[in-house]
Structure 1
Amino acid sequence: MSIFTSKLWVFLVCLSGLLLSRAQAQRLAAGQLHTVAIYADGTLWAWGDNTFGQLGTGGATYQPTPVAIGPAATTWRSVSAGQDFTVAVRQDGTLWAWGANGQGQLGDGTIQGHVTPMPVDNVTTWVSVSAGWHHVVALRQDGTLWTWGDDGYGQLGTNGTGNRLRPTQVGSATWTSVSANYHQTIAIRQDGTLWAWGENGAGQLGTGDIISYKTPQPVGTATSWASVSAGNNHTVALRRDGSLWAWGTNGQGQLGTGDLLSYKTPQPIGTATTWTSVSAGNGHTVALRQDGTLWTWGYNYYGQLGTNSTTNQLLPTQVGTATTWQAIAAGWYHTIAQRLDGTLWDWGSNANGQLGIGTGMQLVPAALAMPGPWRAVSLGASHVAALRQDGALLTWGDNSAGQLGLGAGGPGAQLNPTTISAGTAWQAVATGQLHTMAVRQDGSLWTWGYNNQGQLGNGNLGSNQPTPTKIGTVTTWVSVSAGWYHSLALRQDGTLWAWGRNSLGQLGNGTTVVPSEPTQIGTATTWVSVSAGNNHSVALRQDGSLWAWGGNANGQLGTGISDTLYRTTPTQIGRAAWTSVAAGATHTVAVRQDGTLWTWGDNTSGQLGDGTTLAHATPRQVGSGTTWRAVAAGNSHSVALRQDGSLWAWGSNANGQLGTGTTTSQLSPTPVSGGGTWLFVAANSTNTAAVRADGTLWLWGYNGSGQLAQPNTSLVPQAIAGTPLGTTPSQTLAWQLVPNPAHGQVQVQGLSGAFTLRLFDGQGRLVRTATTPQVELAGLAPGLYLLHATATRATRALRLVVE
């Protein structure tokens, strides 16, 4: 919702005392309940609430993880998110909008909403855009300012002429930066003066009063303003000397003045003069300093400050110790930021999937899956199903029951990853013992493979399906989880559904009857995640509560006893708040909202990680760490991710499934070999699979059915190679830029065969292309650039500093 930028070359410009004379592009955008981002390759991705089509996916199904928007070849320059709509500028200067349009905020001359990006007009000179609650402001290359949409408070600046369905120019001045939020607009002219208009009930315009204005009004007399960001009812801005200023409402400490007093004129925030970027949310503020550190303050009920607490902060407070932050965006109750390596991190409320990480509320920054070859993986007994970032679904390994979905007469096993239903876009996948389930991006549910217990949900028992078969006509499925012979799924309305084997009540329907079609479990509409074990199930609700049902012979339900009295309906486990849970064969692993790790159930192989082999029938904390983020459970081993992206494993290791380079079992969490930053992990009886931040997919452990997609077993993580869009580390790790930093020319060493090089500047604009290893740099401004090197079946982004 706000205009902001924080690129390394901007740091250099600020340090040199030079004025940035043109509007800068916003690459991250946080709306009320959805998030949008432009990645380094220029592609646009969105996630979160989609009630009004604000994600641009072509439907209204919410997306808990990032989804690519528009054609893959399209490159975007700037994006902004309103309450329930999105606007963006492409590299060709065209302006696009989608989502709700009741106030004409899409600017296409109608009040008809759109679920895919639609052009606003035929102008090709747009450079940046900012969305308020229901209005939009945008700049063209000539510095003119244009507004449209809701004008209830005069926020369009056109002297109260009413809502506008098309872009309307505001005056004749030349502008360099603009920010819209809620019902107000703040902008900077080329002469460095600051102007504001719209609602002013809390003094957020900075004009010294609480009078709303229908035309631009000067904010003081300073002529050194560099950038500005409008929050709900407060405003923050930077001057060219690096000082930070704030004004408006301050009931949550969002101004950072150290008190709760509201101010009607700009107030200096501390004495620091090293601020480079700032973004204002609903009741909190986020900012960057020249040293790459990230600071937050204000409202923190949902953890949107990222300080590992929910306590409000009245002064700027540093988030972690990282010094590589480069871009930020503050949403209503969440925050998203980007580091210099291109990785995205977000935190705060995730009630509508706006964090894009598939889990609950985050109190500290959590890494978001980037657009690499892979984004998710699921392990069956001896087969694998994995999703690529482009929505393709691939399977490999054992196919004895048709679980690979390759059709009748398919091979008994498949060593090479093979695409299922080419051209189809998938969003979620889960594998059971011998069956597979997946959800398409249109919300439909598909299953295939073994069906002896009705686990496919197609109304039959005992009839296997070798090809994906659609289940019913419902198109609101969101996620799935497969046990050995039972299946669980969530719908968009938060309801929980189950089918298949039910001998121990693992479906949770209050009986042991086996339904062969999806059956709703209870009436609750607040389920957010679910995990199916061998004969038990666990799930989380929106309030963070943990529930379990099914078999309990090993205490895996966590009810306090190990007995043969299974539970046929969901039973709440304690009163703690949880963010991640995974059901193994006969044990359970989970993470609480405070980042602590807990386990219970069978511990014969040390899978509980508490240093013993003693079973526990209630949750027990593993160690004292408070930075755990996500978990996965195999039959007799467990794996977990920490907030720093490190991967840990423990329990049985007879097949090398811990990835430690040995077959020695571990009784406590042990780091997986090779380091790296990991985003997603899955486990089965003898294997582990995980996706790294660069999008590469890695597997290790047993390989009897070719599930490692290579001939041999591996005791350490091995990258999946030889698949379309895959990045094989052995090919790309040798690629390097020489020299770096560079001026005049840079060479990419290690390339061979046919390749393409594309160089992007700090705003994501393509500035150079080459098909030889040398890239000419003459005429480029000093700063940080990103070079994309693409060769056969391999791609990599390399950072370059131009001097």
Structure 2
Amino acid sequence: MPPNVRFTQIWASNTAFRGAFSVALGTDGNVYSWGQNDLGQLGLGDTNDRLTPTKVTLPAGVTRFTQIASGSCYALAIADNGKVYSWGVGAFLGVGGTVNRTSPTAVVGIPNDVRIVSISASNYHSMALGDNGVIYSWGSNSSAQLGIGDLTDRTSAVAITPPAGLRWTSATAGGYTSFATASDGNDYAWGSNQGVFQYGNGMSVDTDGPTAEYRVPTRIHILLPAGVHIVQRSTNGHHTLAIGSDHKTYAWGSNNYGELGDGSGVLTPPTPVEVSTPAGVTFISVIAGYWSSYAVGSDGNSYAWGKNQGSLGDGSTVDRTTPVRIGGVTRITRVTIGGQVTAGTINPVSGVWTGATLPHAPGDVDVVVELTLNTVPQPSETLSFRYLDTFTVSFDLGGAPGSPPGSQNVLERSKAAWPVTPAWSDKTFTGWYIDGKPYTFNEPVTQSITLTAKWEQYGISLSPSSGTTMGNTQVSLNPLPKESTIKFSQVSVGWYHSLGLGSNGLIYAWGKNNAGQLGDGTTDNHVVPMAVNTPAGIKFSQIAAGPNTSFALGSDNRWYAWGANGSGQLGNGNTTNQLTPVAISMPAGVGAYTQVSPGDTHTLALGDNGIAYAWGANSSGQLGNNSTASSLSPVTVQTPPGVFHFTSLSAGSVHSLAIGDNGLPYAWGSNQYGQVGSVLVNVGDTSPAPVEVQLPVGINKFKQATATADWSLGIASNGRILTWGYNGDYELGNGTTVNQAIPGEPNLPAGVTFNQVITNSDSAMAIGSNHQIYAWGYNGAGQLGNGNQTSPASPITVNPKPGITFTQLHTGWKHTIGVDTSGNIWTWGSNAFGQLGDGSGGTPGSLSLTPVSLTPVKLTITGVTMDGQAPQTGPTYDPATGTWKLTTHPHAEGTVPVSVAWSLSGVPQPNYPLTYTYTDPLTLPTAGSIPLQRLTGALLLTLSLAAAVTYATRQKSRTRKQPH
């Protein structure tokens, strides 16, 4: 075996017949085998035994194997062409005869256009699940385990059709019993029940009895605890093991040797029993042997129980009725961490060593574990441990008076917390900065840092600053600067609105606001960014815009939501739209949501306990809890077989996507256009529980999965984009408008890879590894940035704004936001609701085919009083000059205080003080202000007469006003 190859699957033959050979699947796609080979069961072209793993020759036209299984004296493998190959004892191979085969031979009887997605082998029969939702079975049929209605063996595959309107989604071949799950989530069984309750439904009826319907698949109800479904199942001999969605392991059937593992000694319990797992350990994989059972634990150890002729690997031949760790009694005798011997204790039940580390410098160190096996010293094990550093996050007030917030000691890889916002009497705080960039408090701390407060000083001037006591003087209020330097460190796009996270920890929103998604307490649209009403004392570090909702992570580690809530999608327990942020609920046991993904009428969230939750509308099963009942509170998303937790979630309109901890994508909800991406769900149907997305040959993991309106997009681990679902507007980018029910690649150039695509609409834009921007899908509003409104059938390269390099692209329903290398934000496409945020638009048909600059946080004058009175008119904004105009009211002569109310994009600021001087209009100009030589003739006479009359009147008036 090549030294760089690791095994990803391994099977040992069943000990009921011949237990002396093993097969394994390598990371190179080859099958390796070793052990006894008298029947050709190693598949090496001969009958010679092998003492070490030896590579099986690939059949013609096959480049790799993707899955393996083994029976008692034969083995199976799925190739990358979707066909099944087998070798070993001929009667059980399904190759059309009974002649032994010493090399992989294709199973016959399966239609050529059917691809096999999974296989299962037992003692003497096998089952294969096709991408058409049909199960194919072959081999021994003595107990009707082939499910075809008789007891006749088959040497070629025969089809087991699912119930009308359904598809098979899983198949498990047992010793003499078979199980399957249908697309409606129900379990089916057939074959032997031999009086030992193998079906797990509390009934004990054999195929030779009066109920011969058990010779074909029959719906059963496995009596697991309420709400628990099977994640993984294995059956052999006369018993079955299953891991439940509650992370517990269950067993049913024969218990002659303790193979059920519950320690009870009851030979044939009528219903499933819970396996007694070691303290603190859950099983992540189970395999049923003929009279024994095996499991891999969450602690990395393997366990076994049942009949023991030395086969349990615990160093004894004593039968075990509860799981014991394979390898015998292992004892840790000493642990050295970083060269320091560390004291600890061993749990006598689980064998887990627990100890406290000694002080040590930060960094990676070796952990040397010395141990014994059955008191015999063994080679020591060397592990790795990292002493985390503690970094200091300090704060500099940036010139402001007073003391800065206290320094924070932050553990390596943790995040700093928002400190108390500082204040400066005549300046405005705009954020904490480092290296000239705003700090978001959302990135792990990797070194000691100092964050510096950034301030702005605003001034407002009056022009003119004086006028007559008669009033009616037009005055301009001129603010400087007119725009803030507050930067948006994150942006997120909904269907018709957008969010921006400010460097000051506030959120700004613009665009459509019919449901309150802008969060300012109104339902008024905004054509420029306006601040979201922030709960007292809260700063935000993450934002997520849904189609017509908004979500954000607060500094209190709670998520807040606002906007449309007709289906309870905000998660606050009601269906009332929220015009300002409200905290969303969390189930018991969840300290925080690590991710929130809003869909149209439902929302997904990932808890810090590793469990996925969902709430809102569920008519198509988009909540993934195997029901179609909507929920105002979080429900648990089912984990599919082989998955213990999801690593990412994405909610679309009526379907959802996720990536499991195995790197595979899963989907659930509506499959109206094939957006679920699995042949196990008919197009037009729904899947209320997650199913594995069918991946093309050569793709085995995803790094991104995105559910959009009614189509899906993923990025494989190799960086290539895959699309599937609705394609009426070229969303899939494959040059057609034909919907596609399984993932396929858009027509993108070979060799170009991608890291991220952010879309929730009918179009997509992505930046390739060659730094080119590719765009495809609906372009009716010019949102693709190609300067026109034509939708391209395949991806095109675009340059929305020549001379600008974009680092991020976010597409809404008909508009796009781009962030350039300087952090500047550009928008283009539809502006019908002001979603471009440039201060224009807001009317039907408004759009921009070229990028416009997003209006930054702006100073707005909201009110003025002059000596406590409102001006005669105004203040009114004059866009031509960027000033506010007002008309003074009449007032007695003198200087009066002026108070200017102002805000920064909706955030009120302390009133700005000014003064204004009222002057008497009848006071003659001072000497020299009007040249006397010009006051001649009739003009001088008129002025003199007017002055005389006015002077006399004024004297008379002043006399009347004097106190008596």
Q: Which has the higher contact order (CA 8 A, sep 6+)?
A: 1
TM-score, with normalisation over the residues of structure 1? 0.45
TM-score, with normalisation over the residues of structure 2? 0.38
